[in-house]
Amino acid sequence: YIEHEKCTRLRKQTRQKRTEIKRYKKKFADYSERKYKYKKQKAILQDRNSYSKTDHDATFMRMKEDHMKNGQIKPGYNLQIATNSQFVLSYDVFQNPTDTRTMIPFLTLIKQTYGHLPEYIVADAGYGSEPNYMAIIDEFNRTPLITYGMFIKDKTNKYKSDIFNTQNWKYDEINDEFICPNHKRLGFKRYAYRYDKYGFRRDFKLYECDNCSECPLKNNCMKSNSKSSKKIMRNYNWEYFKAQINQKLSEPETKEIYNQRKIDVEPVFGFMKAILGFTRMSVRGINKVKRELGFVLMALNIRKVVAQRANYNQNNQNHPYNGWFVLRL
């Protein structure tokens, strides 16, 4: 023992060893505690990037009501609804902030509930993605009327007249080559693919110019300090879906159906916030939130029924079945 050791040097060495052992034990205990903490947090997170400490099912999202105008994020849920004539036919609550990944599970829920889906699936550009288009056409066998992110910009004169935009470059179908503004050819080099973080694979064709070193337009179509030649990646599945959407939305019948979306879906959220004053949840946990939203959406449907009934009574006061009517959804 150190108390019985008379040599000062040996006592000092023994104390140093004890101190070092205590330090390692403290580190080990600290690592074990943090490992357990991180494991618990990952179990709560699952495939999300954040969660609220007061409601573990809620995810931090950017809200439309940004009073500070600084892009602040708040914990919340992503509500998805399916409507017809402003009646809510189905709804679900999701934990991911983006709408893109909610469409396929939501359509699956609607199909399980009603046994079928409508011929046209109508949604805004927030749902336009290659996986969604592929699922609607191939799996659900329906027609998507969903715009994509660049749908409006693609049709502007500035976008279509930009000669350095690779979407406007001429394409030689016979030789499978693109022709740049300097009349140089970008030939096909190889196939490529990419996986996103959710495991979806996108296939591309890579085109590359042989030599861009002496091109006078190099600084306009690529970075000035780039040492490689110009490359183009083309996802022809995505281009096919975009062409299909542009064709469908140029037809008068389907264009009218798509234009109906904004006056069918958006008023439901407006009624919920402005008339019912429902702007935040009063419960915590995704299951409780679903039930609360179910009551709110049911109240909106009842309000709509009462309004139609009052309008029907006013227009058919002498009708023998006054006070009763049939709704076709």
Say which residue, 227 or 40, is predicted with more confidence: 40
Percent of the chain with pLDDT over 70: 95
Q: Does domain 61-147+250-307 sit in CATH 3.40.50.2000?
A: no
Task: Note the pLDDT of residue 1.
Answer: 59
CA dist 114 and 185 (Å) reads 53
| pLDDT given at position 318 | 57
Q: Is the confidence at residue 239, as pLDDT, over 60?
A: yes
238 Cβ contact list (under 8 Å, min separation 6) = 130, 202
Judge whether residue 227 has pLDDT over 80.
yes
pLDDT at 323 over 50: no
Q: What is the CA radius of gyration of the chain?
A: 30
- pLDDT above 60 (res 326): no
Mean pLDDT, range 166-174, rounded to an integer: 93
Angle at 286 between CA 282 and CA 287, to 5 degrees: 95
The yes-or-no verdict on residue 329 having pLDDT over 90 is no
- Domain ranges for the chain, please list them: 2-45, 61-147+250-307, 164-236
- Higher pLDDT pick, 99 / 326: 99
Alpha-carbon gap, residue 126 to 101, rounded angstroms: 10
And the tokens for 191? Answer: 């196939």
Would you say residue 317 has pLDDT above 70?
no
Residue 327's pLDDT band, with cuts at 50, 70 and 90, is very low
Predicted pLDDT at 2: 63
**pLDDT greater than 80 at residue 11:** no
> What b/e sequence results for 284-323 when a residue is b if at least 16 CB atoms lie within 10 Å of its CB, and e otherwise?
eebeebeeebeebbeebbeebeeeeeeebeeeeeeeeeee
Judged against a pLDDT cut of 60, whether residue 222 lies above it is answered with yes
- pLDDT > 90? residue 22: no
Out of 90-94, 144-148, 193-197, 319-323, least confident range:
319-323
Tell me how far apart the alpha carbons of residues 162 and 37 are, in angstroms, rounded to a whole number: 53
